[in-house]
């Protein structure tokens, strides 16, 4: 099997646009990012320790990000159903709500756009 090379956008490049299903419904990235800043972050898998720490930390700081006109958007190759179950698990364990959208990128289409 031949290795594929995916080009990661560089500083100053336009962010690749995409449409994807999220925990908040269908999202078009170029419409989501209008009028402010966006932090698009990814994690390898739901229900893992490091990812749990990152997602809860972003959720706890979401009001601070909103105050500076910055949206949060998470991404992993897990399904919508996995994301929804994980959000409920985090709410029960850590009393934190993950209110920002989480992209389900099962086919890795969005991930590949970003290298």
Q: Which residues are catalytic?
A: 51
Report which of 21, 73, 84 is spatially closest to residue 47, judged by C-alpha positions: 84
8 Å CB contact between 75 and 103? yes
Buried b (16+ CB within 10 A) or exposed e, 6-15: eeeeeeeeee
DSSP state of 41: E
């Amino acid at each position: 099997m031949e290795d594929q090379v995916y080009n990661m956008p560089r500083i100053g490049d336009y962010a690749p646009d995409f449409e994807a299903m999220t925990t908040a419904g269908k999202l078009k990235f170029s419409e989501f990012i209008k009028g402010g800043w966006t932090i698009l972050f990814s994690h390898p898998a739901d229900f893992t320790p490091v990812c749990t720490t990152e997602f809860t930390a972003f959720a706890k700081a979401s009001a601070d990000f909103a105050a500076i006109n910055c949206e949060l958007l998470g991404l992993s190759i897990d399904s919508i159903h996995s994301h929804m179950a994980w959000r409920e698990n985090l709410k029960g364990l850590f009393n934190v709500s993950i209110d920002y959208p989480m992209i389900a990128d099962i086919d890795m289409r969005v991930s590949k756009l970003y290298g």
